[in-house]
């Protein structure tokens, strides 16, 4: 990344916020439509009333259910497999619940959704500053604005509407990369600390941090550099320690995750199996994401994204694919935010923008309905 820094002008932030808000609102319209479709497609009214069926739980279905229980009662309120969910997000819901009449669930929804909007704005500024020296300011500005709304309508972005950690993780990831570009090592440490405390995959930010530290000229001071590099592991360690207070086992998050992800797999073989499964009726809902993210890695290289970005995207996809169960490949790739920027870079013609908007909107509706029907895991 260039050492030269183009700071955010107020007009840039206002435009990013406006465009990001349009995408943010439209995504929630699509999700609401997906709820309506899910109700239409539920043939048995009794099925929609079952507590183990996602539809009646609405936004508190799937992982959201665990976050809500942890927010209300800690890890004693969930089964053993709840230990795979880190505590920071539900703690925020608990601490902010007095602002919402004591409702932890509402606090979680508001925090996750507002963080997703803030993350889209930061993502726009990230693309604007980093790409300015590579493709010109006008093109960088256009890519940044496209990134702000495209990140909201990728079908996997339903997790920015559900009370998941992804909204905060988007903000933390984009913030880390922007701070690295600006050579603000302590700011990068703060965002990386947040990312590591939210999700185990926050550790992957060590990859771009290390690359930027090695390639930075002039060399950064030792203490800020070490702080940036150690931040994500420290955040993860803090979350694991919190969980261990209840479970008594520092490895419980990984032990509970192992039966779900399955055994370690060669990610290249697993990707090929996913594509092959499309012909045999398996992994059909996952193949589009596997193909999309892999193609966007190629786009990122061809459009001259920083190598620290490319490395971060590749490592993220390898981790996502290195398991038997790859249901989360959509949101893994979504949080490799350079891939979203690559999508915006590819969409440099009007017809491409329209294609992304239409496909993304339709995908959001379908993905929401499928998730509420229990057919896919968001």
Looking at residues 316-343, what average pLDDT do you find? 92
CB 148 within 8 A of CB 160: no
Question: Which has the closest alpha carbon to 230: 185, 183, 184?
Answer: 185
DSSP 264: B
pTM over 0.85: yes
Give yes or no for residue 11 having a pLDDT over 90. Answer: no
User: And the tokens for 167?
Assistant: 């909204």
Per-residue pLDDT, 46? 60
Per-residue pLDDT, 58? 86
Q: How would residue 44 be classed by pLDDT, with cut points 50, 70 and 90?
A: low
Looking at residues 345-359, what average pLDDT do you find? 97
Give yes or no for residue 6 having a pLDDT over 60. Answer: no
Distance in angstroms (rounded) separating the CA atoms of residues 149 and 139: 16
Distance in angstroms (rounded) separating the CA atoms of residues 111 and 350: 34
Distance in angstroms (rounded) separating the CA atoms of residues 260 and 327: 10
Torsion sign over Cα 67, 69, 73, 77: negative
Per-residue pLDDT, 2? 46
Residue that has been written with the tokens 């959001």 in this structure: 364
In this structure, the chain runs to a length of 378
pLDDT greater at residue 225 or residue 328: 225
Distance in angstroms (rounded) separating the CA atoms of residues 251 and 231: 20
Buried/exposed 338-355: b ≥16 CB within 10 Å, e otherwise = bbbbbbbbbbeeeeebee
CB 224 within 8 A of CB 185: yes
Looking at residues 228-249, what average pLDDT do you find? 95
CB 168 within 8 A of CB 192: no
Looking at residues 300-329, what average pLDDT do you find? 93
pLDDT greater at residue 51 or residue 91: 91
CA dihedral 113, 116, 121, 122 (to 10 degrees): 140
């Amino acid at each position: 990344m260039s050492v030269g820094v183009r700071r955010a002008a107020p007009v840039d932030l206002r435009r990013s916020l406006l465009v990001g808000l349009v995408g943010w609102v439209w995504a929630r319209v699509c999700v609401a439509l997906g709820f309506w479709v899910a109700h239409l497609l539920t043939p048995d009214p009794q099925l929609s009333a079952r507590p183990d069926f996602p539809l009646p739980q609405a936004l508190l279905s799937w992982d959201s259910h665990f976050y809500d229980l942890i927010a209300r009662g800690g890890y004693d309120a969930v089964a053993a497999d709840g230990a795979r969910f880190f505590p920071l997000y539900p703690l925020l819901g608990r601490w902010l619940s007095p602002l919402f009449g004591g409702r932890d669930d509402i606090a979680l929804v508001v925090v996750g959704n507002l963080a997703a909007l803030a993350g889209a704005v930061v993502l726009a500024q990230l693309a604007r500053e980093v790409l300015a020296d590579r493709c010109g300011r006008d093109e960088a500005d256009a890519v940044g604005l496209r990134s702000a709304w495209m990140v909201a309508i990728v079908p996997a972005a339903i997790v920015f509407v559900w009370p998941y950690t992804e909204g905060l993780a988007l903000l933390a990831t984009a913030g880390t990369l922007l701070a690295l570009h600006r050579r603000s090592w302590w700011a990068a440490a703060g965002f990386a600390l947040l990312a590591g405390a939210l999700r185990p995959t926050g550790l992957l930010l060590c990859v771009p941090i290390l690359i930027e530290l090695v390639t930075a000229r002039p060399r950064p001071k030792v203490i800020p550099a070490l702080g940036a590099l150690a931040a994500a592991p420290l955040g993860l360690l803090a979350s694991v320690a919190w969980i261990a207070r209840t479970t008594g086992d520092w490895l419980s998050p990984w032990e509970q995750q192992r039966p779900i992800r399955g055994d370690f797999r060669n990610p290249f073989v697993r990707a090929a199996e996913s594509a092959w499964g499309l012909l045999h009726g398996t992994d059909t809902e996952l193949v589009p994401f596997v193909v999309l993210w892999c193609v966007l890695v190629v786009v990122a290289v061809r459009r001259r994204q920083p190598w620290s970005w490319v490395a971060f995207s590749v490592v993220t996809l390898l981790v996502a694919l290195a398991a038997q169960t790859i249901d989360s490949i959509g949101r893994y790739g979504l949080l490799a935010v350079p891939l979203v920027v690559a999508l915006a870079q590819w969409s440099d013609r009007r017809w491409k923008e329209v294609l992304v908007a239409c496909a993304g909107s339709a995908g959001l509706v379908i993905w929401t309905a499928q998730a509420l029907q229990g057919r896919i895991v968001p």
